[in-house]
Amino acid sequence: MTSYIGRFAPSPSGPLHFGSLVAALGSYFQAKSNQGTWLVRIEDLDPPREMPGAADLILRTLEAYQLEWDGEVVYQSQRHHLYQQQIDAWIASGQAYFCQCTRKEIKQHGGYYLGTCRDKKLTGENLMATRLRMTEPVYEFVDQKHGLLSIPKALADEDFIIKRRDGLFAYNLAVVLDDIDQGVTEIVRGADLIEPTGRQISLYKMLGKQTISYLHLPLAMGENGQKLSKQNHAPAIDNLNPKPALLEAMHFLGFKFEQDIASASIAEIIAWGVKNWQINQLPNTTEITPRFSNRPW
């Protein structure tokens, strides 16, 4: 084992689909080809968007594809105390504040929040969002595949929400606190998360932590031009016959197969993937529409 720690962090809003299999495989191959640890974290932060049983289904799918995780699975729903503790500390220090602006008001002011409530010293969090005073805006970062990527200034400068008015913790806050707590050294995930990466790096800086490395994988798009996602009802991948989706997802990640791959076992294919994985095999684009027909396997 090296000091590399990677992770796969699905939200249990539905079963794994092709796009999330790509993220699982990419993060797994990158961790294991670095002799690292691969963690699984279930991001069950938003109950109204979750599907009962999806978390278990996702874990069973990872097992079927023989993606073995290290250590215990972590559930964000069991870590609210950690997130609240940090928010309380920031409220106490004046770094975070309550905000009562509605989405409509923010839209009227151009779509970005301009700090209207920053110095109002509103009290009582009920029915108010909690925002973080942005003192460490990040306008660009280096991605291991795509090089220097830039973040729009207005987005980077925004005092973003760390806890919503309905009491739910914000994705960016939970992800960063967990990644720090779990010692994650590199994040490998879909290119749809390039934009929030700036905010996440801001959080590392505001927490006084060493920033980590990022690799964004091409995003699988549906024929309709939208990303494959659970919200768009992307079909679940097959747990009983994993080989076709596994090979398709590896092809998507830029692997060039040898002739006899179709007769190999799932374990052999995964082991072959770990051995042959290289970041520079990844396609250069951030969005790809996979065509699922006429494969040689």
**Binding site feature residues:** 7-11, 43, 99, 101, 113, 117, 171, 189, 230
The contacts of residue 20 (CB under 8 Å, 6+ apart) are: 10, 58, 230
> Is 9 or 246 the residue whose CB approaches ligand GLU more closely?
9
Q: Minimum distance between the CB of residue 220 and ligand GLU, rounded to whole angstroms?
A: 13
Among 54, 87, 138, 175, binds ligand GLU (CB under 6 A): 175
Which residue do the tokens 């973003």 mark?
A: 160
How far apart are the C-alpha atoms of 218 and 176, rounded to whole Å? 22
Q: How far is CA 42 from the centre of its chain?
A: 11
Site stretch for ligand GLU (CB under 6 A), options 6-14, 67-75, 280-288, 289-297: 6-14
Among positions 177-196, residues that touch ligand GLU (CB under 6 A) are 189, 193
Which of 5, 6, 11, 18 lies at the binding interface for ligand GLU (CB under 6 A)? 11
What proportions of the chain, in percent to the nearest 5, are helix, strand and coil?
40, 15, 45
- The residues in 22-61 that bind ligand GLU, with binding defined as CB under 6 A, are 43
**Cβ neighbours around 227 below 10 Å, total:** 17
* Beta bridge partners of residue 140, listed in sequence order: 150
CA separation for the pair 202, 210 (Å, rounded)? 11
Query: Contact at 8 Å (CB) between 28 and 64?
Result: no
Q: Candidates 3-11, 135-143, 202-210, 274-282 — which segment interacts with ligand GLU by CB under 6 A?
A: 3-11
Q: What is the SS3 assignment for 268?
A: helix
Q: Could you give the CA distance from residue 20 to residue 45 in angstroms, rounded to a whole number?
A: 18
Looking at the DSSP bridge assignments, the partners of residue 161 are 131
Cβ 143 to ligand GLU shortest distance, Å: 14
Looking at the Cβ atoms of 8 and 90, the one nearer to ligand GLU is 8
Annotated binding site for ATP: 230
Q: Which of 5, 6, 9, 59 binds ligand GLU (CB under 6 A)?
A: 9
216: contact with ligand GLU by CB under 6 A: no
* Known binding positions for L-glutamate: 7-11, 43, 171, 189
Stretch that binds ligand GLU, among 9-17, 95-103, 212-220, 265-273 (CB under 6 A): 9-17
Helix (H, G, I), strand (E, B), or coil: what is residue 112?
A: coil
Q: Closest CB to ligand GLU among 49 and 133?
A: 49
Give the shortest CB-175-to-ligand GLU separation in angstroms: 5
Measured at the CA of 177, the angle between CA 6 and CA 3, to 5 degrees, comes to: 30
Q: Select from 10, 15, 218, 222 the one that contacts ligand GLU (CB under 6 A).
A: 10
Per DSSP, which regions of the chain are E strands?
Answer: 5-8, 37-42, 74-75, 96-99, 129-132, 140-143, 147-150, 161-163, 186-190, 213-217, 219-220, 287-288
Number of H helices, E strands in the chain: 9, 12
For the annotated binding site for Zn(2+), the residues are 99, 101, 113, 117
Site size for ligand GLU, by CB under 6 A? 7
Catalog residues that contact ligand GLU under the rule CB under 6 A.
9-11, 43, 175, 189, 193
